[in-house]
């Protein structure tokens, strides 16, 4: 008997994209699936749109606004599937995405999490370009995380397919809203597995450039949550393996936070700098355009960042 796959969708104010997302979930060539959408207190027409899909088998759950991770946890608690597919309310799945990954899982790989190809798009998924990254590989858990944190790429939530028993071992999503809540959760999921299997051709589409999205938020609260998620993730990895390579990968992750945050939140930057030092340092260099690199060469990267921020205010 074919295993049930649960497609779990947290939804908050996604009226502009929700129809397309639900259609991509319903278009999956794998059967059986269950689609569970948790409306997280939307203030737009998202709930109205979601309810239009109930006759097609979409289960709609309503809760007060608690954040995407809380909505994912609620959806997981309501689900019955042997495999879990997370799907944000603005992202898309290729029709055969789940089928390809299930076939790989069923070939004796049920102790692994399955990753797939993914690409960003801004307006239409036809504009997406799939560019392979080093993490598009079969790797043991620690190797995959070290590769990712050292600059080898990432996976957005919809790219993964997770066996339920691994999701249960990983535990619930951390419910403090954070730009990196998925990174922290899937860090646990990867470490709870025997490793990552990469499934070529299993495609998902990551919508980017949405005004006000959590991933693009730089508020004080978001930065605090981001460094908290980073501390949790690095602790998870170091508990599994505390070695020169994992410490360097953790230091690099904190160094990347420093580069993306400075000159905002100087106290959080100092915290991250202390972590980098305690972990043994990182050789990650700041990235930027030609003007940024020129300014960095003339002085320090911190001066270049300060001048860059001033120029953006004008």
Query: pLDDT > 70: what percent of the chain?
Result: 94
What is the number of other CB atoms lying within 10 angstroms of the CB of residue 242?
10
Which pLDDT belongs to residue 179? 79
Q: Which residue has 């309501």 as its token pair?
A: 78
Summarised one tens digit per residue, pLDDT across range 253-287 is 999 999 999 999 999 999 999 999 999 999 998 87
Extents of the domains making up the chain: 5-210, 216-283, 288-314
DSSP strand E in 225-295: where? none
pLDDT, tens digit, for every residue of 139-179? 999 999 999 999 999 999 999 999 999 999 999 999 877 77
**CATH superfamily label, 5-210:** Spore Coat Polysaccharide Biosynthesis Protein SpsA; Chain A (3.90.550.10)
Tell me if 169 sits within 8 A of 191, measured CB to CB: no
Buried b (16+ CB within 10 A) or exposed e, 299-308: eebeebbeeb
What values do phi and psi take at 217, rounded to 5? Answer: -80, 135
pLDDT of residue 213: 55
Tens-digit pLDDT profile for residues 19-64:
999 999 999 999 999 999 999 999 999 999 999 999 999 999 999 9
Judge whether residue 185 has pLDDT over 90. yes
d(CA 98, CA 116): 10
User: Given pLDDT bands bounded at 50, 70 and 90, which one contains residue 104?
Assistant: very high
Structure letter (DSSP) for residue 173: P
pTM of the model: 0.92
Convert the pLDDT of each residue in 59-82 to its tens digit: 999 999 999 999 999 999 999 999
């Amino acid at each position: 008997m074919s295993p049930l796959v649960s497609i779990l969708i947290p939804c908050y104010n996604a009226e502009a994209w929700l129809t397309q997302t639900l259609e991509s979930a319903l278009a999956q060539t794998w059967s059986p699936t269950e689609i569970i959408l948790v409306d997280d207190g939307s203030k737009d027409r998202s709930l109205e749109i979601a309810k239009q899909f109930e006759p097609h088998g979409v289960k709609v759950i309503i809760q007060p606004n608690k954040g995407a991770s809380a909505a994912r946890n609620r959806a997981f608690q309501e689900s019955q599937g042997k495999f879990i597919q997370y799907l944000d309310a603005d992202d898309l799945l290729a029709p055969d995405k789940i089928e390809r990954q299930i076939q790989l899982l069923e070939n004796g790989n049920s102790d692994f999490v399955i990753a797939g190809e993914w690409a960003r798009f801004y307006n239409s998924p036809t504009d997406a370009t799939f560019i392979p990254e080093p993490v598009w590989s079969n790797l043991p858990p620690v190797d995959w995380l070290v590769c990712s944190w050292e600059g080898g790429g990432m996976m957005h939530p919809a790219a993964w397919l997770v066996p339920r028993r691994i999701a249960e071992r990983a535990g619930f999503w951390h419910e403090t809203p954070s730009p990196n809540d998925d990174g922290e959760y899937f860090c646990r999921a990867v470490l709870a597995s025997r490793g990552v299997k990469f499934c070529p051709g299993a495609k998902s589409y990551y919508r980017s450039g949405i005004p006000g999205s959590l991933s693009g938020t730089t508020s004080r609260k978001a930065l605090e949550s981001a460094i908290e998620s980073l501390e949790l993730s690095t602790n998870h990895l170091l508990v599994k393996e505390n070695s020169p390579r994992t410490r360097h990968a953790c230091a690099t992750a904190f160094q990347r936070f420093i580069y993306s945050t400075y000159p905002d939140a100087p106290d959080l930057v100092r915290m991250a700098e202390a972590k980098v030092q305690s972990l043994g340092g990182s050789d990650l260099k700041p990235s930027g355009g030609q003007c940024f690199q020129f300014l960095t060469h003339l002085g320090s990267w911190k001066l270049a960042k300060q001048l860059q921020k001033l120029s953006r205010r004008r």
